[in-house]
Amino acid sequence: MADFNTRENTYEATLKLLQRNVPLEKGPHGTYNQEDAAEFFECLVNELKQKHNELTSSGKTGLEELLEDGNNPINGVKTTTGFRAKEFIDKDTARYNTAIANKNRKDTDPPIPPPVTIPEANEIVDRNNLNAQIILGVKQATKEHIVAEFGSAVTNAHVLKPNSNKARSLDDIKLFDLKKAVMKNAQRATFDSTFKNVSTVLNYTFNWQLTAEQNVEQLSTKAAMLESNGIKVDKSYMVLIVLRNMEKAIKSGQWADDLKESFRTICNKYDADHVHDDTTYKEVLTELFKADKNRTISDAPAPDTEAAEEVNSVYETFINEYLEESETEDEDSVAESAYSAASSDSESSADTKSARRALKKKEKEKKARKAAEKKKKKEKKQKRTRLTVAGNAVKGKSHGKGKKVNRDCKHCTTHRRWGSHPETPEKKCRFNPKAKVWRPKWVADLLGVEYKTRDLFTTENGGYPPLDESDASSGSDSDSE
């Protein structure tokens, strides 16, 4: 009776915990994409890791194995699983007798532990039976939470018997298969967003006002999210990202002196052409975390958001140009097909020419918008350079050093941002969570608000600049039919 209550109590407590801590972010029509599903299971794994149990595989302490494929001690626990004192005593007695009968045993060898007594065996099997019931309660709660979040249409094939509305036995349900089913049913992410997510991971910049362990955890989460799109970030890349951030840190000031010896140790241990794997990645992190404990976190500067913006801008420009080139090639192909069709059918020639003109007009607009954006960025860069030269009191002072937090804006002060914005009112500051303006994704993530693309905003609120005649002429070719 006690075992039954343990399973029921565990089930109820776990289900409430998952409902509160592991929600599925859905779209406006109740849909979800692969990134949403991946984030859901990432949170779910983190919760299961905190469910400590004595029956786990060696090296694991939590119940995350419930979501793993294949056989493991946790997935091997069934509703019929039970441990008996007599069987445990017989097994341990056989162990003792085998050891005693070993002819190669020396007098200097440590003494052989005697077989367990009946009270000791009763205590062990009671604890194991309790752990088994806890596992079943957690598995049942996890299964029902997945079904509730993703919907019966996706999960019925795995939780119901074939051609029936009757539920499968908990023993016949594999949470790994359930996970595969919901991931397969998710809306696929666009190649554009996936490409940007990859660049975000490769360009990940540590915030040294957090611990190194927190930074690595955030990096690992971003890398894990890519796996839902079939992209695995190799450990050699992970090591590169970590060491790049360490190298930048130790060059930026005395606050990172505690990291120097650790960085030197890692560089001396591995040659430049060393191919890193899981083992060496853990060794690198061990060195980093050990050194990181000695530094004073409050001495670290705020993240260099201006430099990060510049790098992200380079990535974004590259991505946009790549995508626009691809789209132009597709449009040229469509136009070519339309032209070929017109050649073979004289009656549709007028429609074909109209279609070609529409496609070329669309291409001109894209080029013009790109030219306008480049023009705006160039003017902004020139303005920043003039302000930097005028503001440097000491000759030769490098840009970026001695920056002060912008205390003229309460939102900049809150987030320790520098660079005044006299032409932008405080209510339109991009660090104001209530402002209805475009903000880069890293700012949206920092504030915890939804990121919206730039084309959804007016020019006054940070949207794309308008297309004027000079932009249009510089961004397009003189085509004529």
Q: Average pLDDT for residues 56-77, to the nearest whole number?
A: 89
Q: Average pLDDT for residues 375-401, to the nearest whole number?
A: 53
pLDDT top residue among 90 and 399:
90
Residue 197 confidence (pLDDT): 78
Residue 403 confidence (pLDDT): 53
Confidence of residue 4 (pLDDT cuts 50, 70, 90): low
Amino acid at 87: E
Q: Which of 162-171, 228-237, 329-338, 422-431 is predicted with the least confidence, judged by mean pLDDT?
A: 329-338
pLDDT top residue among 102 and 347:
102
pLDDT top residue among 391 and 424:
424
pLDDT top residue among 420 and 240:
240
Q: Average pLDDT for residues 185-202, to the nearest whole number?
A: 76
The number of CA neighbours under 13 Å toward the Cβ of 350 is: 1
Q: Average pLDDT for residues 409-419, to the nearest whole number?
A: 79
418 phi/psi in degrees, rounded to 5: -110, 170
Highest mean pLDDT (candidates 202-211, 222-231, 343-352, 420-429): 202-211
Q: Do residues 358 and 365 lie in contact, with contact meaning Cβ atoms separated by under 8 Å?
A: no
Kindly tell me if the per-residue pLDDT of 333 is higher than 70. Answer: no
Residue 453 confidence (pLDDT): 87
Q: Average pLDDT for residues 437-461, to the nearest whole number?
A: 86
Report the chain's mean pLDDT, rounded to a whole number: 79
Q: Do residues 66 and 113 lie in contact, with contact meaning Cβ atoms separated by under 8 Å?
A: no
Residue 58 confidence (pLDDT): 83
Q: Which of 190-194, 279-283, 300-304 is predicted with the least confidence, judged by mean pLDDT?
A: 190-194
Q: Average pLDDT for residues 474-478, to the nearest whole number?
A: 46
Kindly tell me if the per-residue pLDDT of 65 is higher than 90. Answer: yes
Residue 362 confidence (pLDDT): 66
Q: Average pLDDT for residues 158-165, to the nearest whole number?
A: 86
Residue 387 confidence (pLDDT): 53
Residue 468 confidence (pLDDT): 55
Residue 386 confidence (pLDDT): 55
Residue 120 confidence (pLDDT): 92
245-273 residues labelled b (16+ CB within 10 A) or e (exposed): bbeebbeeeebbebbeebbeebeeebeee
Q: Which two tokens stand for residue 223?
A: 């890398």
Percent of the chain with pLDDT over 70: 76
Q: Do residues 390 and 399 lie in contact, with contact meaning Cβ atoms separated by under 8 Å?
A: no
